[in-house]
Homo-oligomer: A and B are copies of this chain.
Amino acid sequence: MSTGGDRVPAPVQVHRPGQRSETVRRANLSAILRELHLRGPSSRSELVEHTGLTRSGIRAVLGDLVAYDLVREERAASQGAPGRPSPLVRTNPHGATVLAMEIAVDSLAVGIVSLGGVVLDSERVDRPRDRFSLGETVTDLVRLVGRIRSRGGLPDTLVGSAVAVVGIVRRSDGLVRMAPNLGWHDVAFGERIREELGLRLPVAVANEADLGALAEQRRGAAVGSNHVLYISGEVGVGGGLIAAGQPFTGLAGYAGEVGHIPVNPSGTACRCGSVGCWETEVGEPALLARAGRPPGGGRAEVDAVLRDAAAGSAVALHALAEVGRWLGVGLAGLVNVLNPELIVLGGLFGRIHPYVNASLRSELDRLALQASRELVRVVPANLGVDAWLLGAAELAFEPLLADPAAWAPARTNAPATHPA
């Protein structure tokens, strides 16, 4: 059984303001591979149109990418007849893969995802909301990866790995600064899981909602939108931002922590020690309490509230409308600050969207500045439970996409030649 066969990256080239020709060549490889990874199969003409490279430039880049086995080009049935459709270029789904992982409040998941974003294999388990020790979580994840390995090992083409964690994560080194629902403080989780899995590749770590935002923007409800606010409800409220097409991380990676925006100083105490944080009004416990159900009842009780609402229960409908109203209050402030094009409601908020939509919108209309309000759309997420896993996959692919040339040579080396 393969222990990984993962490639160790060359240092990623820094693109400084003054660019040299080799830097340009590598930037072009990156631009084309990223285009194919995100848009799917494309003709050469489409690549010319979308990247601004010349036809001869595209030809050279594709030659390299095909040689690296990252890209395949279909041959046209016959040569050069005018008007004939251009042969399609596509990523090789087995040319590069990543190991994506997810640690949510009540579930764990792992998956092998291909260049192009296809989940080739995955495992997902629910967990009760007890606080598991770090060791237990590691053991559970290793077991899930083991199931994938038992079906044929990790691919030899593994180029990266990343994990989505419900916590505040320092982007520079993946340190989980705080994950209240897991009971973690300052956990170097990437290094820990890397060792336990016997991977040579580093394992990137990021906040689950940041990765949800990335996934929805690249492959979900926010494709084509460059200014996105993604919020996801569970016990707390997570948020992730895309600004000008790029993840907005803030100084250290903590941006988007919307759950503790003060919205109601005369409200209820928050588990963070403050009063009237947004999540005290819109989190799952707030919904359940408003609906007269046990606040810690979890997903089963939320399902019950949704069933009641569907059956016309006034209590359930009022509880959902109140959550919608407070969603609108917090979103109004965020719309004013961020002027987003799209708000994507994930997790709990995606599930309750049909019942909160009216009160949410009405509060947005009342509180947000009109100029920004009239530009923003609010939609439910559409990647379902795999959003965070797909976001982790995108993060894990990033070094390859940023500089394919730095990775390709590593491919021909046996893993053992790399330092662990």
Contacts and interface: CB of A to CB of B under 8 A. Distances in A.
Contact of A53 (B18, B24, B34, B376): B18
A121 to B, nearest CB: 32
Contact of A239 (B252, B255, B265, B337): B337
Interface string A49-71: 00111100100000000000000
Given A24-B24, A168-B371, A254-B371, A336 B261 contact: yes
Interface string A325-341: 00001101110111111
Contact of A52 (B17, B257, B338): B17
B20 A54 contact: yes
Interface stretch (A97-105, A243-251, A301-309, A346-354): A243-251
B339 A250 contact: yes
B243 A248 contact: yes
Interface of A: 14, 16-21, 24, 27-28, 30-32, 34-35, 51-54, 57, 168, 170, 177-178, 226-227, 239, 241, 243-244, 246, 248-266, 272-274, 329-330, 332-334, 336-341, 366-372, 375-376
Residue among A53, A243, A375 with the highest chain B CB neighbour number at 10 A = A243
B367 A274 contact: yes
Contact of A51 (B16, B52, B367): B16
B332 A250 contact: no
A19 B51 CA distance: 9
7 nearest interchain CB pairs? Answer: A250-B339, A16-B52, A18-B53, A17-B31, A261-B333, A255-B339, A254-B339
A18 B57 contact: yes
A51 B261 contact: no
Given A31-B18, A253-B339, A369 B334 contact: no
17 contacts: A17-B27, A17-B30, A18-B32, A20-B54, A241-B337, A254-B369, A254-B371, A255-B339, A256-B337, A260-B336, A261-B337, A265-B329, A272-B369, A274-B366, A333-B333, A334-B337, A337-B338
A254 B35 CA distance: 30
A265 B262 contact: no
A283 to B, nearest CB: 15
B333 A18 contact: no
Given A227-B250, A250-B372, 13 more contacts: A16-B52, A19-B28, A178-B369, A227-B251, A243-B250, A248-B248, A249-B339, A254-B371, A256-B337, A257-B336, A257-B339, A262-B332, A274-B366
A95 to B, nearest CB: 21
Contact of A367 (B262, B264, B329): B262
Residue among A21, A371, A375 with the highest chain B CB neighbour number at 10 A = A371
Given A31-B17, A178-B370, A340 B54 contact: no
